[in-house]
């Protein structure tokens, strides 16, 4: 069976990113997914809210089976004085220990951000559908894949963050 991992989401990209990240680190893994409530808004804005959503998901997932890794992945929009970006955070929980790491961030066009912030659409995925014509983009390549012509996609971004969030579980003696 290997390492048991429970993902707090049924989104295929989040499940695949988790599977890839954990396999890189542990080899044999069993992945289960469960629907949980992130406890944050449908479209998180800012690192704090995105991280809170990822941690909430990971904690709820970890509670599903004793000794399992609980994983939460949350994406959102971050605004800085120099621009707005799409970004994700990964949280991993095991036996009460929590570790987080972020994905890369990709600059978003102003018109996409304004659609979301103005309330014309509910979430980034809706804005992306309006400009791309691709339904359920967040379950596929994500905005990252769309804006990079799929050179780098949402799965890769979350996979990289997953490996980084696993650092405290890889090098336990340092954490």
- pLDDT band at residue 7, thresholds of 50, 70 and 90? very high
Average predicted confidence (pLDDT) for the chain:
96
Domain count, the chain: 1
Is position 75 within any domain? yes
Give pLDDT tens digits for 76-128: 999 999 999 999 999 999 999 999 999 999 999 999 999 999 999 999 999 99
CA 80 to chain centre: 20
pLDDT above 90 for 9: yes
Is position 111 within any domain? no
Q: What is the pTM of this model?
A: 0.95
Is position 98 within any domain? yes
Is position 142 within any domain? no
Give the pLDDT confidence score for residue 48 in this predicted structure.
98
Give the pLDDT confidence score for residue 80 in this predicted structure.
96
- pLDDT band at residue 1, thresholds of 50, 70 and 90? low
Is position 121 within any domain? no
Task: Give the residue with greater pLDDT, 70 vs 1.
Answer: 70
Burial code of 107-124, b = ≥16 C-beta within 10 A, e = fewer?
ebeeebbebbeeeebebb
Is position 76 within any domain? yes
CATH at 22: 3.90.950.10
pLDDT above 70 for 159: yes
Residue 70 lies in domain: 3-106+150-174
Give the pLDDT confidence score for residue 2 in this predicted structure.
81
pLDDT above 70 for 175: yes
Give every CB contact of residue 63 below 8 A, 6+ residues apart in sequence.
70
Give pLDDT tens digits for 10-63: 999 999 999 999 999 999 999 999 999 999 999 999 999 999 999 999 999 999
Is position 19 within any domain? yes
Is position 133 within any domain? no
Answer whether 27's CB lies under 8 Å from 2's CB: yes
């Amino acid at each position: 069976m290997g390492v048991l991992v429970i993902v707090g989401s049924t989104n295929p990209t989040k499940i695949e990113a988790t599977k890839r990240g954990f396999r890189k680190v542990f080899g044999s893994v069993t992945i289960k997914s469960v629907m949980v409530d992130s406890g944050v808004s449908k479209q998180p804005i800012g690192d704090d809210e995105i991280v809170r959503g990822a941690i909430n998901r990971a904690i709820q997932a970890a509670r599903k089976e004793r000794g399992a890794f609980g994983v939460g992945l949350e994406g959102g929009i971050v605004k800085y004085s120099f621009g707005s970006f799409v970004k994700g955070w990964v949280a991993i929980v095991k036996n009460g220990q929590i570790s987080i790491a972020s994905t890369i961030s990709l600059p978003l066009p102003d018109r996409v951000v304004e659609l979301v912030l103005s309330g014309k659409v509910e979430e980034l995925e809706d804005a992306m559908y309006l400009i791309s014509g691709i339904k359920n983009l967040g379950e596929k390549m994500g905005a990252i894949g769309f804006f990079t012509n799929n050179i780098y996609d949402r799965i890769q971004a979350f996979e990289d963050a997953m490996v980084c969030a696993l650092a405290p579980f890889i090098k336990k003696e340092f954490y």
